[in-house]
C-alpha cells in the first residue's frame, strides 16, 4: 500500500474513533473481521442466485412447518429436526455468508422479507391475519417481549401498524408480494389453511416449483415427519439448542396450537374489527371471510381506483 493512502486510512480511522466512541469502533472492527472471514450474516445483502428458492412468509404464518415439509422432501437421507433444519433450509438472517455460499444448489432458504425483486423463485405462505396476530402475541410472550396477560387490543393495534416486527405490517408484507408476483412464473402462493387441510397436495405443488419428481409415498413420508405432534416432541428435546427458541421461555411452546381459525374464540371482537378494517380487501381476495362490517378506510389525497386494491386472486380459493 502506498504511504500516502496508508496515512489517509489512519487519519480516517482516528477520526472514526473520535466520532463513534470506543464501543462502536470495536463493534465495527469485529464486524470487519467477520466480513473478512465470511462469518457475517448477510441478511438482505445476500448474494442471490438465479436458481435460489425462498420460502417466504410473514412471521408466524407456518414458515417453520413448511421448512420441515420441504426439508423432509429434499433431504430424505435423514429425518429433519430443529438441530439440522437451519442447515438444510437456512435463514440468511441467521447463517454466515460462507455457509450460504457453500450450500449445494439450488439453495432453498427461508425469508420473512417483504417483496424483493431479486428473489426469482418464491414459495409464498399466507395465513389468516387474525390467526397470525394471535400466534405472534403468544410468541412475543414466549420471547419475553410482552408479559403474560398483556392486553390483546393494544397488541393488535401495534400489529396492524406494523410495529411488532421489522418486516412491515401483514398487509404490506403479503400485499407487496401479491401485487408484484402473483400469476407470474416462479411464484407459488399457498394458504396455510389449505396446507393444513391437504398437506400432500400443497407439497406436491412445492415439488413442482422445485422441479422434483416425487411419488405419493415420498409426500406422505415428508408430511408424517413434519406433523405438529412430531415437531412438538422434537421441540421438547431440542428447544434449548435451536437458535429461534434457545433464549425464550421454556414453559411456553414454539409449536403451539397449529390450527386454523383459533381467532374465532381467542381474539376479542374489537381486535378482529381492527384487522378487518385495515386489510379487509386483501383478506377477501385471499378468501378469508370478514365477519365485522368494517370497510377498508381509504386515505386522503391518493385517488387510486379500487381496481388496484382488488387484485383478482380467484384461483387461490379453488
Partner 1 sequence: MMYGLKVVLRHLLGTDIADRNLAVYPDDTFIVSYPRSGNTWTRFLIANLVFPSEKVTFANIERLVPDSAALSNRVLKRIPRPRIIKSHQYFDPRYHRVLYIVRDPRDLVLSYYNFQRKYRQIADDYPLTDYVDDFAGGRLISADWGTWGENVASWIYTRQNQNRFLLVRYEDMKSNTVQQLRRMAAFLGLEPTTERLTQVIEASSSQRMREMERTESEHWVATKGHRKDIPFVGAAMSGRWQSDLPGPLVSKIESTWGNLMTTLGYPLMASEPSQPYSILR
Binding site for partner 1 (CB under 8 A): 9, 12-13, 16, 28-29, 31-32, 35-38, 44-45, 97-98, 114-118, 162, 166-169, 171-173, 175-176, 178-184, 296-302, 304-305, 307-309, 311-312
In what helix (H) or strand (E) does residue 272 lie, and over which residues does it extend? helix 269-285
DSSP designation for 189: E
The residues near 296 (Cβ < 8 Å, ≥ 6 apart) are 277, 278, 279, 280, 281, 309
207 versus 285: smaller Cβ distance to partner 1? 285
Shortest Å distance, C-beta 252 to partner 1: 28
28 versus 256: smaller Cβ distance to partner 1? 28
Going from the C-alpha of 194 to that of each of 51, 203, 206, 226, the distances in angstroms are: 26, 11, 13, 16
177 versus 254: smaller Cβ distance to partner 1? 177
Shortest Å distance, C-beta 175 to partner 1: 5
Shortest Å distance, C-beta 33 to partner 1: 8
29 versus 220: smaller Cβ distance to partner 1? 29
**Dihedral of the alpha carbons of 90, 94, 95, 101, in degrees to the nearest 10:** 80
Shortest Å distance, C-beta 199 to partner 1: 28
Burial of 195 (0-12, 13-18, 19+ CB in 10 A): buried
76 versus 114: smaller Cβ distance to partner 1? 114
Shortest Å distance, C-beta 168 to partner 1: 3
Q: Which of 256, 231, 230, 258 is CA-nearest to residue 242? A: 231
Amino acid at each position: 500500500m502506498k504511504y500516502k493512502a496508508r496515512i489517509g486510512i489512519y487519519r480516517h480511522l482516528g477520526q472514526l474513533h473520535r466520532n463513534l466512541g470506543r464501543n462502536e469502533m470495536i463493534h465495527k472492527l469485529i464486524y470487519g473481521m467477520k466480513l473478512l472471514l465470511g462469518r457475517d450474516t448477510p441478511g438482505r445483502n445476500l448474494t442471490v442466485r438465479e436458481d435460489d428458492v425462498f420460502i417466504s412468509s410473514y412471521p408466524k404464518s407456518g414458515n417453520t412447518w413448511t421448512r420441515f415439509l420441504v426439508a423432509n422432501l429434499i433431504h430424505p437421507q435423514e429425518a429433519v429436526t430443529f438441530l439440522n433444519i437451519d442447515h438444510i433450509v437456512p435463514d440468511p438472517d441467521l447463517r454466515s455468508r460462507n455457509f450460504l455460499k457453500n450450500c449445494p444448489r439450488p439453495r432453498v432458504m427461508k425469508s420473512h422479507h417483504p417483496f424483493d425483486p431479486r428473489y426469482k423463485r418464491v414459495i409464498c405462505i399466507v395465513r389468516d391475519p387474525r390467526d397470525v396476530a394471535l400466534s405472534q402475541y403468544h410468541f412475543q410472550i414466549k420471547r419475553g417481549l410482552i408479559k403474560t396477560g398483556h392486553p390483546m387490543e393494544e397488541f393488535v393495534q401495534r400489529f396492524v401498524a406494523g410495529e411488532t416486527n421489522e418486516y412491515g405490517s401483514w398487509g404490506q408484507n403479503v400485499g407487496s408480494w401479491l401485487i408484484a408476483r402473483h400469476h407470474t412464473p416462479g411464484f407459488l402462493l399457498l394458504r396455510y389453511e389449505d396446507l393444513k387441510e391437504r398437506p400432500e397436495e400443497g407439497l406436491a405443488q412445492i415439488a413442482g416449483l422445485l422441479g422434483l419428481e416425487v411419488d405419493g409415498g415420498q409426500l406422505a413420508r415428508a408430511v408424517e415427519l413434519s406433523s405438529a405432534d412430531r415437531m412438538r416432541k422434537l421441540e421438547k428435546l431440542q428447544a434449548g439448542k435451536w437458535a429461534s427458541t434457545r433464549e425464550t421461555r421454556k414453559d411456553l411452546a414454539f409449536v403451539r396450537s397449529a390450527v386454523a381459525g383459533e381467532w374465532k374464540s381467542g381474539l376479542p371482537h374489537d381486535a378482529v374489527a381492527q384487522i378487518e378494517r385495515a386489510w379487509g380487501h386483501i383478506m377477501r381476495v385471499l378468501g378469508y371471510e370478514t365477519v365485522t362490517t368494517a370497510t377498508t378506510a381509504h386515505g386522503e389525497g391518493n385517488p387510486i381506483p379500487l381496481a388496484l386494491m382488488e387484485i383478482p386472486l380467484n384461483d387461490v380459493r379453488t
